[in-house]
Amino acid sequence: MTYKGIARGKVIELEGDLALPEGTEVEIVVKDRAKSSVTINRHAKGSPEAILKFFDTPPLCTPADVDALLQAIKEGRQPTNYQGVFDQDQDS
């Protein structure tokens, strides 16, 4: 989930309602537009260190998202035709 807000001193005001139970632990990532070429861990974008850091980051999808993706893949499957162009009967 992503929530947007504005920091005002020690308080962050969110744009919408927070759909989390009281006491839920959260992590806040600050986006600095002036330093957009550097990630939060100070590694340059595309560097080996930044790529390794990316792979250590947990996915932002839920088990329900994974189930929906697998269902869409299953529904989108097309039948396989093993007959090639040269396998067709030709009248000579």
Which residues make Cβ contacts (< 8 Å) with residue 38, sequence separation at least 6? 44, 45
Residue ranges of domains in the chain: 5-75
Three-state SS for 37-77 is: CECCCCCECCCHHHHHHHHCCCCCCCHHHHHHHHHHHHHCC
> For residue 71, what pLDDT is reported?
94
> For residue 91, what pLDDT is reported?
56
- Confidence category of residue 73, pLDDT binned at 50, 70, 90: very high
Kindly report, residue by residue over 23-33, the tens digit of the pLDDT.
Answer: 888 888 777 65
- Helical (H) or strand (E) element with 11: strand 11-14
> For residue 60, what pLDDT is reported?
80
pTM, 2 dp: 0.30
